[in-house]
């Protein structure tokens, strides 16, 4: 039975800050951000967008095409959780009117969590033929104003439907995993922003790539040339480019060219949005699907990395007619219609959105009609509404 990705929804908030503006404000050479880090713009979540509302929006994009009678599982992956106990998925379930009979929960392992959800969903579908699973990764990456990590922030969500006979990517059997208990990036309960040992995290990411990529090729009897493209977790695009450089080392020019072209295409959304933690890898997959020219049967590699740290490499094959399932025009419009914030406005918006919500508060949203947003809090319960 073939199992894989049948739908992909994508959401990012309606505001961004330009990297050249940010570089000028921080006294840096713009090329450090544009080339050294590899980012052009960074999505900014105001106080009306949190992990839940972004997850609802990403899922709403394809909900009308889901057979709800056969939906059995909903997993929400995030490291921007809004509650220490209750799963964010329950808010999504209510907002979108998903059936009461589904199994639903939230999971965490930094940016790896959406891959964990994908693998759990795959096993679920294998064990429950004719049933599907919905998985959501939604995050706001926050390091703080004027920190080295600031340029690698972002906000957004990806939602995917996993089922048999998928319309977009059929996952191949097998994976290679690698984990170690390390402290490269973490966020203690009393912190609103992440703590990070930036240069160490960069080294560990590459180390974990070496621990999973070559073993995967060996285990499956594959060569680098067997991949049409490889997608990476992109905390910022230069990070993925470093892993990509390891992958193509020693390959002939045609293979290098193909994988490099596809790497650049996979990084397009990330350059505009920034790090969205759990969903970053899958935003690169979507970018390659929508911006590239993949053919049915093409093999795409997935490198997933979550600080702490846990990594996995696996692959999938492009399904005939996959492009009919994609909505590139909608995503183009979502990015084009964003409001450009000056650095002062970004700082205000960022600071406001990090404040602890009082027991009762109401917000209005300037998002487009149809967008779900955080409308406030009543008795410490977050309230979500659609514009």
- Per the annotation, binding residues for (3S)-3-hydroxy-3-methylglutaryl-CoA are 29, 143, 242, 275
Rounded Cα–Cα distance for residues 68 and 371 (Å): 21
Find the binding residues for ligand HMG in span 19-78 (CB under 6 A): 29, 31-32, 35-37
Indicate which residue of 61, 106, 111, 150 is catalytic: 111
For the question of residue 249 being annotated catalytic, the response is no
> Shortest approach of ligand HMG to residue 348 CB, angstroms?
22
Q: What distance in Å separates the CA atoms of residue 24 and residue 19, rounded to the nearest whole number?
A: 9
Phi, psi of 52 (to 5 degrees): -70, -50
The CB density around residue 337, as the number of other CB atoms within 10 Å, is 10
Which range in 100-108, 173-181, 232-240, 363-371 contacts ligand HMG by CB under 6 A?
232-240
Residue span 256-275 as binding mask against ligand HMG, x where in contact by CB under 6 A, dash where not = -------------------x
Nearest 5°: CA angle at 14, between 11 and 16?
105
Residue 306: strand pairing partners: 310
Q: Would you count residue 202 as binding ligand HMG (CB under 6 A)?
A: yes
**Residue listed under structure tokens 């679920």:** 124
79 belongs to the binding site for ligand HMG (CB under 6 A): yes
Q: Are the CB atoms for 117 and 107 separated by under 8 Å?
A: yes
Q: Cβ of residue 1: shortest distance to ligand HMG, in angstroms? A: 31
Is 231 one of the catalytic residues? no
Q: What is the DSSP string of 14-67?
A: SEEEEHHHHHHHHT--HHIIIIII--SEEE---TT--HHHHHHHHHHTTGGGS-
Which is nearer to ligand HMG, 198 or 215 (by Cβ)? 198
Is residue 175 flagged as an active site residue? no
Answer for which of 72, 149, 154, 229 binds ligand HMG (CB under 6 A) is 149
List the catalytic residue out of 233, 244, 312, 331.
Answer: 233
Query: How many residues belong to the chain?
Result: 387
Which residues are known to be catalytic?
79, 111, 233
Which residues of this protein are in contact with ligand HMG, per CB under 6 A? 29, 31-32, 35-37, 79, 110-111, 148-149, 151-152, 184-185, 196, 198-199, 201-202, 205, 233, 235-236, 238-239, 275, 277, 305-307
């Amino acid at each position: 039975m073939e199992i894989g990705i049948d739908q992909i929804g994508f959401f990012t908030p309606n505001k961004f800050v330009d990297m050249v503006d940010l570089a000028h404000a921080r006294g840096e050479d713009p090329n450090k951000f544009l080339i050294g880090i590899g980012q052009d713009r960074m999505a900014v979540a105001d106080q009306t967008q949190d992990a839940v509302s972004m997850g609802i929006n990403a899922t709403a994009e394809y909900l009308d095409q889901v057979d709800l009678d056969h939906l059995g599982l909903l997993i929400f992956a995030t490291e921007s959780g809004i509650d220490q106990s209750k799963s964010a998925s329950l808010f999504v379930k209510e907002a979108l009117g998903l059936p009461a009979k589904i199994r639903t929960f939230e999971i965490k392992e930094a940016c790896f969590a959406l891959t964990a959800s994908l693998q759990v969903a795959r096993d679920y579908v294998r064990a429950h033929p004719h049933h599907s699973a919905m998985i959501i990764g939604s995050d706001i990456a926050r390091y703080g104003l004027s920190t080295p990590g600031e340029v690698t922030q972002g906000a957004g969500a990806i939602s995917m439907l996993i089922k048999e006979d998928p319309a977009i990517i059929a996952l191949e059997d097998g994976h290679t995993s690698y984990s170690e208990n390390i402290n490269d990036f973490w966020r203690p309960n009393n912190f609103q922003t992440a703590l990070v040992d930036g240069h160490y995290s960069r080294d560990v990411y590459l180390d974990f790539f070496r621990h999973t990529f070559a073993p995967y090729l060996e285990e499956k009897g594959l060569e680098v040339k067997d991949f049409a493209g490889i997608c990476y977790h992109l905390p910022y695009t230069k990070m993925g480019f470093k892993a990509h450089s390891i992958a193509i080392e020693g390959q002939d020019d045609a293979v290098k060219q193909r994988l490099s072209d596809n790497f650049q295409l996979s990084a397009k959304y990330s350059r505009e949005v920034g790090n969205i933690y759990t969903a970053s890898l899958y935003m690169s997959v979507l970018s390659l699907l929508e911006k590239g020219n993949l053919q049915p049967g093409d093999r795409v590699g997935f490198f997933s990395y979550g600080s702490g740290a846990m990594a996995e490499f696996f692959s999938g094959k492009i399904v005939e007619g996959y492009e009919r399932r994609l909505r590139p025009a909608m995503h183009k419009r979502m990015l084009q219609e964003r409001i450009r914030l000056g650095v002062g406005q970004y700082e205000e918006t960022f600071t406001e959105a990090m404040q602890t919500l009082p027991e009762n508060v109401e917000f209005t949203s300037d998002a487009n009609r149809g967008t779900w947003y955080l409308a406030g809090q009543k008795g410490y319960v977050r309230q979500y509404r659609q514009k």
